[in-house]
Structure 1
Amino acid sequence: MTDLSAFPITSRLPAQHPDRIQLYSLPTPNGVKVSIALEELGLPYEPHLIDIGKNETWGPEFLSLNPNGKIPAIIDPDGPGGKPFGLFESGAILVYLAEKTGKLLPKDAAQRYETIQWVMFQMAAVGPIFGQLGFFHKFAGKDYEDKRPRDRYVAESKRLLGVLETRLAGRDWIMGDEYTIADISLLGWVRNLVGFYDAGGLVDYASLKNVPAWLERGLARPAVQRGLDSPKRV
């Protein structure tokens, strides 16, 4: 049996199946990237719910795994060299899992980097901008009298959706016929923008054609549906 005791988080959240990948997450747009990837890849994993509403990412055990105090994070009992390996940052985890299995990332070098380029687009632009729009439209920011911050993120979100709309013209997936980690990185964020954030009207989502069709295709995948509900909320 694999010994994960070197990772303090396992003292608070003991692994029932230490030979499986340990996932520490919550079904947020960032969290579901990893659970969807694990489901798509068919990798055995054990999910542990981390309640960010209770500040569970700021305890010493979680910070020992991710000093930035954010979900998701993983421990792979069969990491590089066959040794247990901890990793944080959802984009890095997506690349790691794809390279570990040889799936969801093209073999061709140019296409591989092009795929990673779109993952970085999500990490650097779509996630932060959509998240700020959610704050100013749905959460505490909605009560701010000055609407200029909200309008700034509305305009930039519309621009980013336009980038995706253009990219998806004539393509089923971000990379064409091949479904990759680029799609996985983006699906949860677009879904959240028009669903949980209820910002579709603000960003003229109904005027788009390619992005809604892509989102519908993605959400129809059984592995995506399972990943969107993992770890299960209490």
Structure 2
Amino acid sequence: MKNLALFDLDHTLLPIDSDHEWGEFLVRTGAVDPVEFKRRNDEFYAQYQAGTLDPVEYLEFALGTLARFPRKELDAMHAQFMAEVIEPAILPRARELLRQHLDAGDLVAIITATNRFVTAPIARALGVEHLIAAVPEEDADGNLTGKLVGVPTSGAGKVTHTHAWLAQVGTPLDGFGRSHFYSDSHNDIPLLSVVTHPVATNPNAVLATHATRLGWPLLHLFND
């Protein structure tokens, strides 16, 4: 039977948070107000780390920021972001782990709470075809409106989105020989709990404690 391998992105495959780094990039390049935007971006990131983030409130902030710019300008900014921030952060051990699953013929997907605008080019750079991410609404010209399509891809929402994606693929979660999910965060315990092979990857303290208690393996990709 075919196996499934799901991966969180930030602090799992990347040693950084791409969403927060995108905000830092906007501040650094002068695209947004350097004081007020950084204050709110840092505030939301602290809430995420503490497990208290309201994903809808954050996505409205993040997508509202994207909606200020024409799509052509956004795409040029993102290309610079990839070159300066993301590509140097893609480390060999993450690529090797993905390659192991891809070479084995597993169905591989990245599932992340970060929006698709930020993460789609990252998934391509990692060689992963399938991406489950928060979907920004676009107008007829491809510009972002600042609104979210559907529900956030975070917490229990990752379970909902995984089942919906697998329904499109044509194989339910229990139709795979093994289902893996790699994540660093306790926010992902709902999805980690429904796969057959959860792996706490570069785990934060809360997830490490939870994983150890349940006997889940711990994987550290970025430690020498």
Q: Is the pair's TM-score, using the shorter chain for normalization, greater than 0.5? A: no
Larger Rg: 1
Which protein is richer in strand relative to its size?
2
User: By percentage of residues, which structure has more helix?
Assistant: 1
Superposition TM-score, scaled by structure 2 size: 0.31
- TM-score scaled by structure 1? 0.30
